[in-house]
């Protein structure tokens, strides 16, 4: 085994010098290659310098890049700082707003409080203090629903589950205040979560709707009351929308039309009753209620499907300014019975009129018979008796002549009364010489007895009138002359007979004091053959009866009878339909 | 001066008796410092060691084994053997004084 020889001092000094020399040449770049154990590495200064230059360029490039990167980072940093500053400002602003909101919550009339998920109150605003009665310091830490004795409309567990799932809940609750008063509130709950998303607290906002609930109950009661009234009405009421679809109807409607209250809503009105309501005029009128703003009343409609029915319809708009909705209230009155009764009354009236006419005709005939009898028997007997008594008075003794003279005079009176009575019962002139002659005779009689001038004007020839009409007109003129004598205080009376294409006309005109024509309407139909009776009878034969009068301006009465009716000889009582 | 050089070990040796200065110059082909070192050594030999030196130039690019044997790690490197003294001078030998000091000659006024 060989042992390394220790170098001498001279050798060490020589190596030191070599080493220093080596360091010097390396520093001066005087080295070409470095010799290793397995290879030789060439060291070229130029290449090294070029490499160094390249490296320096690379470094400079990297430095530029790095500088740019640093600038970018710096800019980002500044932006981050600015952003953080803005966030800080926003946070400060938010905090300020939160403080303001918290103050606002105290200003709110609503009861606002917050409780944690255990139900313990952590916030209690001024509104809650005022309404519920507990101060903030008294309420904080209390279990809210125990404190307020909350009555829930649904189980609290379900509400809690919903608020955790959806984040909110709203509904009506009943709370009890400190003094035991029940308060109905519209409650809105909102869930607040932690930063990690877990439920942290529930904000409850209560709006006191006790007064509103009372008002709603009163309105509901009023509505029920109104509906009960509407349901008791005999008229059918139905409310329609602008498209004429049924919104609601009362009980009478359903009873009348056999409809189901549950199924009729939304059904078009005009499709009811197998289309019998599908009247174009009804459709037009109902549309006009809303579009033209016009009510209508008394529109009659008859339904002949099945049992004949008659209805009278009235409609008016229902406008609701609150929501602008427009509806139509249609009132349907079932007048089937009324119509039926009207027809019966009309028939009865017609029959009564015919009977009256027959009675009057019978009366007229009886008058003629009585007048004839008076003239033929009593009148003849009285005339024979007078003639015989006159012969006896001339031939008899002086002491009985005076008495017989008195008897003859009484017989004269009786004969005159008999003649007047005969004339009054039935003037024979009317049936022998005609209406104008009879009226002239009547006029002379009134002029003589009542003291006014009475003049008859006419065509003169015999007007061929039916006997009943002739009698009717004669009696009518007589009634008018009686009225003139009684009330008019007239001095002159004109009776004018005329005929034209329209009919036969008689005008009776006086220059008396006149009267208020409207008073005629208020007077009863009594009084026998009065003016109203004259008018009714004329109307029955298709005629016209017109009165013109005014205070101080006399009276003019015009009566017109159609020629064809007045001249029909076969027109009798049996000819009038009943 | 005698200088020897060979392809593997290029040598230029003067014949006859051993020279007082035996020198081995390790170079790396035509590299700049090696070229300068050759030139400098030639000038030193011609100026100061005329006829008293033997120089062997070894190109390590062709054969670096002698360098390893002489414990030479960089080129140019000049090993000077003067008697028992072995001195190594590194570099391109442009510092004449340092070479002359190694030769223990000292600078002489030119």
pLDDT reported for residue B59? 94
Instruction: Verify whether the Cβ–Cβ distance B61 to A33 is below 8 Å.
Output: yes
pLDDT reported for residue A451? 85
Residue in B72, B91, B94 nearest the CB of A35? B72
pLDDT reported for residue A507? 94
Nearest-CA distance A35 → chain B (Å): 5
Is the peptide bond prior to A185 cis by the omega test (within 30 degrees of 0)? no
pLDDT reported for residue A456? 92
* pLDDT 10s digits, B88-103: 999 999 988 888 888 8
Instruction: Verify whether the Cβ–Cβ distance A21 to B32 is below 8 Å.
Output: no
Q: Which of residues 28-87 of B touch A (CB under 8 A)?
A: 28, 31-34, 60-61, 64, 67-68, 72-76, 86-87
Own/partner long-range contacts of A135-144 (Cβ < 8 Å, ≥24 apart): A139/A113, A143/A115, A143/A118, A143/A119, A144/A113, A144/A115, A144/A119, A144/A120, A144/A204
* pLDDT 10s digits, B45-80: 999 888 888 999 999 999 889 999 988 989 999 999
pTM above 0.95, yes or no: no
Candidates B71, B89, B100, B81; CA nearest to B33 is B89
Per DSSP bridges, beta strands B2-6 and B10-11 are: antiparallel
Instruction: Verify whether the Cβ–Cβ distance B28 to A32 is below 8 Å.
Output: yes
Residue from B75, B85, B104 to probe the interface with A (highest A Cβ count within 10 Å): B75
For residues B11 and A109, which has the higher predicted lDDT (pLDDT)?
A109
Chain B positions in Cβ-Cβ contact with residue A19 (cut-off 8 Å)? none
Confidence of residue B108 (pLDDT cuts 50, 70, 90): very low
pLDDT reported for residue A276? 64
Asked whether A439 and A507 are in contact (CB, 8 A), the reply is no
Instruction: Verify whether the Cβ–Cβ distance A34 to B74 is below 8 Å.
Output: yes
pLDDT reported for residue A306? 65
Domains along the sequence of chain B with CATH: 2-102 (3.40.30.10)
Chain A positions in Cβ-Cβ contact with residue B90 (cut-off 8 Å)? 18, 21-22, 24-25, 30-31
Nearest-CA distance A78 → chain B (Å): 55
pLDDT reported for residue A3? 57
3-state SS of A459-519?
A: CCCCCCCCHHHHHHHHHHHHHHHHHHHHHHCCCEEEEEEEECCCEEEEEEEECCCCCCCCH
Residue in B34, B86, B89 nearest the CB of A32? B34
Residue from B77, B85, B94, B102 to probe the interface with A (highest A Cβ count within 10 Å): B77
Which residue numbers in chain A have pLDDT < 50? 1, 524-528, 566-578
Rounded to whole angstroms, how far apart are CA atoms A517 and A535?
14
Residue in B68, B74, B98 nearest the CB of A31? B74
pLDDT reported for residue A570? 36
Instruction: Verify whether the Cβ–Cβ distance A34 to B91 is below 8 Å.
Output: no
pLDDT reported for residue A577? 25
Instruction: Verify whether the Cβ–Cβ distance A30 to B92 is below 8 Å.
Output: yes
Instruction: Verify whether the Cβ–Cβ distance B75 to A33 is below 8 Å.
Output: yes
Residue from B30, B37, B90, B93 to probe the interface with A (highest A Cβ count within 10 Å): B90
Spatial neighbors of A132 by CB under 8 A, at least 6 apart, are A111, A139, A147, A148, A175, A177, A178, A183
Instruction: Verify whether the Cβ–Cβ distance A24 to B90 is below 8 Å.
Output: yes
Per DSSP bridges, beta strands A453-457 and A492-499 are: parallel
Percentage with pLDDT > 90 across chain B: 44
Rounded to whole angstroms, how far apart are CA atoms A224 and A221?
5
Instruction: Verify whether the Cβ–Cβ distance B90 to A44 is below 8 Å.
Output: no
pLDDT reported for residue B1? 46
Nearest-CA distance A12 → chain B (Å): 12
Residue B42 predicted with pLDDT over 90: yes
| Burial of A473: CB neighbours in 10 Å, binned 0-12, 13-18, 19+ | buried
Candidates A321, A535, A543, A22; CA nearest to B73 is A22
């Amino acid at each position: 085994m060989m042992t390394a020889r220790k170098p001498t001092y001279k050798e060490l000094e020589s190596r030191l010098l070599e080493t220093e020399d080596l360091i010097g040449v390396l520093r001066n770049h005087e080295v070409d290659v470095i010799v290793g154990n397995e290879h030789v590495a060439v060291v070229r200064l130029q290449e090294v310098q070029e490499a160094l230059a390249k490296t320096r360029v690379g470094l400079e490039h990297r430095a530029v890049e790095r500088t740019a990167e640093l600038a970018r980072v710096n800019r980002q940093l500044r932006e981050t700082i600015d952003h953080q500053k803005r966030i800080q400002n926003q946070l400060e602003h938010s905090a300020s707003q939160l403080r303001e909101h918290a103050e606002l919550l105290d200003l709110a009339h609503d009861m606002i409080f917050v409780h944690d998920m255990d139900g313990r109150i952590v916030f209690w605003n001024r509104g809650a203090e005022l309404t519920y009665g507990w101060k903030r310091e008294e309420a904080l830490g209390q279990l809210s629903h125990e404190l307020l004795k909350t009555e829930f409309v649904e189980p609290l567990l379900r509400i809690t589950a919903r608020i955790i799932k959806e984040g909110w809940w709203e509904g009506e609750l009943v709370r009890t205040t400190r003094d035991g008063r029940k308060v109905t509130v519209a409650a809105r709950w909102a869930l607040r979560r932690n930063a990690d998303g877990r439920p942290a607290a529930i904000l409850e906002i209560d709006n006191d709707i006790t007064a509103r609930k009372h008002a709603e109950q009163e309105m509901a009661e009023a509505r029920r009351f109104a509906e009960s009234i509407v349901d008791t009405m005999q008229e059918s009421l139905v409310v329609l929308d602008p498209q004429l679809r049924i919104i609601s109807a009362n009980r009478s409607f359903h009873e009348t039309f056999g409809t189901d209250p549950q199924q009729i809503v939304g059904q078009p009105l005009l499709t009811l009753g197998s289309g019998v309501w599908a009247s174009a005029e009804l459709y037009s009128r109902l549309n006009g209620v809303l579009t033209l703003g016009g009510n209508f009343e008394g529109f009659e409609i008859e339904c002949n499907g099945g049992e004949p029915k008659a209805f009278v319809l009235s409609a008016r708009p229902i406008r609701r300014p609150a929501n602008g909705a427009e509806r139509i209230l249609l009132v349907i009155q079932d007048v089937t019975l009324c119509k039926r009764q009207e027809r019966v009354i009309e028939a009865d009236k017609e029959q009564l009129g015919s009977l009256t006419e027959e009675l009057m005709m019978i009366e007229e005939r009886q008058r003629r018979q009585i007048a004839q009898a008076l003239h033929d028997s009593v009148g003849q007997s009285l005339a024979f008796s007078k003639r015989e008594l006159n012969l006896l008075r001339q031939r008899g003794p002086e002491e009985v002549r005076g008495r017989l003279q008195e008897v003859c005079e009484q017989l004269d009176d009786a004969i005159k009364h008999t003649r007047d009575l005969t004339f009054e019962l039935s003037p024979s002139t009317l049936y022998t010489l005609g209406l104008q002659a009879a009226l002239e005779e009547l006029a002379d009689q009134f002029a003589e007895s009542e003291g006014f001038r009475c003049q008859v004007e006419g065509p003169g020839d015999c007007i061929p009138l039916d006997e009943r009409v002739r009698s009717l007109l004669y009696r009518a003129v007589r009634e008018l002359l009686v009225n003139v004598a009684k009330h008019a205080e007239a001095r002159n009376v004109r009776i004018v007979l005329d005929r034209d294409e329209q009919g036969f006309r008689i005008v009776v005109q006086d220059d008396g004091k006149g009267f208020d024509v409207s008073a005629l309407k208020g007077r009863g139909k009594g009084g026998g053959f009065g003016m109203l009776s004259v008018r009714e009878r004329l109307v029955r034969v298709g005629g016209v009866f017109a009165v013109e009068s005014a205070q101080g301006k006399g009276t003019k009465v015009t009566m017109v009878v159609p020629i064809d009716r007045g001249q029909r000889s076969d027109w009798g009582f049996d000819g009038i339909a009943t | 001066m005698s200088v020897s050089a060979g392809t593997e070990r290029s040598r230029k040796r003067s014949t006859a008796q051993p020279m007082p200065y035996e020198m081995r110059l390790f170079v790396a082909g035509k590299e700049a410092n090696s070229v300068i070192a050759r030139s400098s050594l030639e000038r030193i030999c011609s100026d100061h060691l005329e006829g008293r030196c033997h120089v062997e130039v070894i190109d390590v690019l062709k054969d670096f084994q002698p360098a390893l044997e002489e414990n030479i790690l960089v080129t140019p490197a000049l090993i000077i053997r003067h008697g028992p003294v072995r001195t190594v001078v590194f570099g391109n030998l442009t510092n004449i004084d340092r070479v002359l000091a190694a030769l223990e000659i000292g600078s002489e006024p030119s």
